[in-house]
């Protein structure tokens, strides 16, 4: 294979293959049970697949409108109004995206200029920082510390400057499972009041908050909603992560800028799946029942690890469980998950991968969005070694 004839200067010189790809590949090579990457090993209801097939056979296989088919945007607006009491105009304020990662990237590309500062909370999902860097933005990090991973609002205030363009938040939080409360939203509103700061609110786990706790969408808070881009995911909600379909809510001025970029980096999302999702959303129990569904899996997982030497940290939402392993091994978290995958046969994610400087708190993340038989097989292996 010929080599490129000139030196390349990477725009992301410090970025390699994501930890999710690395651990999933290692799990496959070792025949390990993959509790690392965040996807279910069970499927959605046949009713959803039947609606996709219906619209395909009906001939709805050409380009959808750039912002998404209107029945789906109307269904999203109805859901958001019912849950959060917020009125978003389907024509001007809702856009269907090719998954949440695309939505996040597009929001950053549309709104961050070179030299703008963007505040992120770490451990931070791995797509945020590269997207900021590709726009010439400056990343400002606020650490969330074990075991509760709550925001330190004094530290956030200290970072806000005239150059702060954006604050990115994620609740329920991947990877820690922390869920923000009303007090957190009040703090965020107070420190952005009177500024031009945009909030990007990653709410892909909006329907997975446990123990009766309400998900605090920024859509619940008119002052924040007026300056926020909200991102959600059908893949997380309906167990179809591989479909890569999500959506964005934003006031018209922000959405107009978002769509300027969206039309050129994606343009639109496949038509039959959008129409199927619009049909499927008519039964609200399908998203309203998600918290109880995953809370049962969380409780099953935590009970299954009782008796091991893992110290399970609080999990108030998402389908991830973090755990300290210091009583099992004196290893860096990257070395521990390598050992866990190769020798125990269970793959997990090291939390240091979510920190810019690789801070190692000896904490790892498991995904419990799995069938009970998958989790039981993992329990058997973990009890044998841990």
Question: What domains does the chain contain, in order, with CATH numbers?
Answer: 19-44+288-385 (3.90.1150.10), 46-284 (3.40.640.10)
pLDDT of 16 > 90? The answer is: no
- Per-residue pLDDT, 1: 82
Identify whether the C-beta of residue 12 lies closer than 8 Å to the C-beta of residue 130: yes
- CB of 201 closer than 8 Å to CB of 216: no
Q: Tell me the DSSP string of 214-241.
A: PP--GGG-HHHHTTEEEEEEHHHHHT-G
On the 0-12 / 13-18 / 19+ scale of CB atoms within 10 A, 170 is buried
How far from the centroid of its chain's Cα atoms is residue 284's Cα? 22
Q: Which tens digits make up the pLDDT trace of 276-287?
A: 999 999 999 999
State the DSSP string of 304-365: HHTTSS-EEPP--BSSEEEEE-TTT--S-HHHHHHHIIIIISEE-EEGGGGSTT----SEEE
For residue 316, which phi and psi values (nearest 5 degrees)?
-100, -5
Residues in the chain, how many?
Answer: 386
- Residue 355 — pLDDT band, cuts 50, 70, 90? very high
- Per DSSP bridges, beta strands 138-143 and 198-202 are unpaired
Report the distance separating Cα 2 and Cα 137, nearest Å: 35
Instruction: Say how far apart CA 86 and CA 221 lie, in whole Å.
Output: 9
Distance CA(176)–CA(206), nearest Å, equals 15
Contacts of 5 (CB under 8 A, 6+ apart): none
Residue 17: pLDDT band with limits 50, 70, 90: confident
| Count of C-beta atoms within a 10 Å radius of residue 342 | 14
Q: Is the pTM of this model over 0.85?
A: yes
CB 233 within 8 A of CB 246: yes
pLDDT at residue 305 is higher than 90: yes
- pLDDT tens digits for 205-229? 999 999 999 999 999 999 999 999 9
Local structure of 66: helix, strand or coil: coil
Rounded mean pLDDT of 253-268?
97
**Do 325 and 336 meet the contact criterion of CB atoms below 8 Å apart?**
yes
**Crossing angle for the helix pair 271-280 and 70-84, to the nearest 10 degrees:** 40
Q: Which long-range contacts (CB under 8 A, 24 or more apart) does 371-375 make?
A: 371/41, 371/42, 372/300, 374/33, 374/41, 375/297, 375/300, 375/301, 375/304
Residues 129-180: tens digit of each pLDDT: 999 999 999 999 999 988 899 999 999 999 999 999 999 999 999 999 999 9
User: Is 286 exposed, middle or buried, given 0-12, 13-18 or 19+ CB atoms closer than 10 A?
Assistant: middle
Nearest-angstrom CA–CA distance, 240 and 53: 15
pLDDT at residue 294, as a whole number: 98
pLDDT value for 2: 86
The mean predicted confidence, pLDDT, of the chain is 96
Q: What per-residue confidence (pLDDT) applies to 243?
A: 97
| Residues 199, 72 contacting (CB under 8 angstroms) | no
pLDDT at 92: 98
Instruction: Compute the average pLDDT of residues 294-322.
Output: 98
């Amino acid at each position: 294979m010929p080599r490129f004839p000139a030196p390349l200067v990477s725009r992301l010189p410090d970025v390699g293959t994501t930890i999710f790809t690395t651990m999933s590949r290692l799990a496959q090579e070792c025949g390990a049970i993959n509790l690392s990457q965040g996807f279910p090993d069970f499927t959605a209801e046949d009713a959803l697949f039947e609606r996709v097939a219906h619209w395909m056979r009906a001939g709805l296989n050409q380009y959808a409108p750039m912002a998404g088919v209107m029945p789906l945007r109307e269904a999203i607006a109805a859901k958001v109004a019912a849950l959060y009491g917020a009125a978003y105009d389907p024509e001007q304020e809702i856009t269907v995206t090719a998954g949440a990662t695309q939505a996040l990237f597009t929001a950053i590309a549309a709104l961050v200029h070179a030299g703008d500062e963007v505040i992120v909370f770490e451990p931070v999902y791995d797509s945020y920082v590269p997207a900021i860097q590709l726009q010439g933005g400056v990343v400002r990090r606020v650490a969330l510390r074990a075991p509760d991973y709550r925001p330190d609002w004094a530290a956030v205030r200290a970072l806000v400057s005239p150059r702060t363009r954006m604050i990115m938040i994620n609740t329920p939080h991947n990877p820690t499972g922390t869920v923000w409360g009303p007090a957190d939203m009040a703090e965020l509103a107070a420190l952005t009041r009177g500024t031009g700061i945009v909030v990007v609110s990653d709410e892909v786990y909006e329907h997975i908050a446990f123990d009766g706790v309400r998900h605090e969408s920024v859509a619940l808070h008119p002052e924040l909603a007026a300056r926020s881009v909200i991102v959600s995911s059908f893949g997380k909600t309906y167990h179809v992560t591989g479909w890569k379909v999500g959506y964005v809510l934003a006031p018209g001025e922000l959405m107009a800028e978002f769509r300027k970029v969206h039309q050129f980096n994606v343009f639109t999302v496949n038509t039959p799946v959008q129409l199927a999702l619009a049909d499927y959303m008519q039964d609200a129990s399908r998203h309203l029942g998600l918290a109880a569904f995953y809370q049962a899996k969380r409780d099953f997982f935590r009970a299954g690890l009782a008796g091991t030497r893992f110290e399970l940290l609080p999990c108030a939402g998402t389908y991830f469980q973090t755990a300290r392993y210091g009583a099992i091994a004196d290893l860096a978290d990257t070395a521990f998950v390598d050992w866990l995958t190769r020798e125990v046969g269970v793959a997990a994610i090291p939390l240091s991968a979510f920190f810019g400087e690789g801070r190692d708190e000896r904490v790892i993340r498991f995904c419990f969005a799995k069938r009970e038989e998958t989790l039981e097989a993992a329990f058997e292996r973990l009890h044998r070694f841990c």
